[in-house]
Amino acid sequence: MDRLDAMSTFLAVVETGSLSAAARQLKTPLATVSRKVSELESHLRTKLFNRSSRKLVLTDSGSSYFAACKRILADVTEAERTASGEYSAPTGELILTAPVGLGRAYLIPILADFFKAYPDIKASLLLADRVQSLFQEQIDIGLRIGALPDSSLMAVRLGTMRRMVCASPAYLVAHGTPRTPDDLAGHDYITYAGFMSPDVWTFFKDKVAVAVPVHARLVVGSAEAACDAACAGIGITSAFTYHFQTALERGALTSLLDEFQPAPLPVNLVYAANRFLPIKVRAFLDFAAPRLKKVFAELQPPV
């Protein structure tokens, strides 16, 4: 059995959704595609698909093997192209992920300039306020805030980001300005599901963590909506600095309790530690990292 050929056939089956569709894409008889998948399952001693009359569904083993095959075949292709000098400019599709607000405000402008510099690259940008698995979702590069527990990823440090607590000047005139975490009792809050517990906010007083229960007056679906609600005077909310930057600059919000905030969190570009780093990934890291470092150096809360 040609293992690389069998892997390629398996990938085609997964990506097209059926044996017959893979056979058409590969211009190979259906019986040959079916035989190669069966031989691969026999070689691995595991089922890669759960078969039904309508569709093929990857097993857990199949999902893991699919991600591994994708990386292995990409490495082989990259090594062959590099060795043969097939190309000198990056090509192909780049898949990126980032938090929603951070991606919209800072990554999209960088992508616009990147496309001008590298016209043969296209990209998919997956914006979500949750940590997405680079391996399971076949993502090339992620922009992440926070500690990196996954030691299999490589990281380019960009800077730090901290949380802020903000409210509108009108709200503070009506309800008073909290000076310490203890003063937060009785205030109206705007919360959302995200990087921080919506029910408890943590502050530090004399280097000791202080947990403040939060009872929401309004619950929204995103940090961006929480910022809008705070600007409207509904209550106090908490998010990362970049969510509030524009509103702070125009005076629509006032920052609170800055001296009680936890330590800033690291911000990194992360990518899989492949032996052969695709040229498109290297090109984006080299292009985006210095620009993002400048962004995070400048993105500091007003004093």
* pLDDT higher than threshold 70 for residue 151: no
Q: Return the axis-axis angle of helices 30-44 and 19-26, rounded to nearest 10°.
A: 110
* CATH code of residue 22: 1.10.10.10
CB atoms within 10 A of CB 193: 14
- Are residues 230 and 97 both part of a single domain? no
**55-95 per-position pLDDT tens digit:** 788 898 888 898 888 888 877 877 776 665 545 677 888 99
- Are residues 60 and 187 both part of a single domain? no
Q: Which domain holds residue 293?
A: 92-161+265-298
- Are residues 240 and 279 both part of a single domain? no
Output DSSP code: residue 198. Answer: S
Helix (H) or strand (E) holding 111: helix 108-117
Mean pLDDT of 230-239: 96
- Are residues 28 and 157 both part of a single domain? no
- Are residues 199 and 174 both part of a single domain? yes
* Whether the Cβ atoms of residue 155 and residue 270 lie closer than 8 Å to each other: yes
- Are residues 234 and 191 both part of a single domain? yes
104-118, 187-201, 211-225: which has the minimum mean pLDDT? 187-201
Q: Which residues contact 283 (CB under 8 A, 6 or more apart)?
A: 90, 118, 121
Cα separation, 222 vs 139, whole angstroms: 23
- Are residues 136 and 222 both part of a single domain? no
**2-26 per-position pLDDT tens digit:** 888 999 999 989 888 888 889 998 8
Q: Which residues contact 224 (CB under 8 A, 6 or more apart)?
A: 100, 101, 243
Q: DSSP 3-state assignment of 34? A: helix
pTM > 0.75: yes or no: no
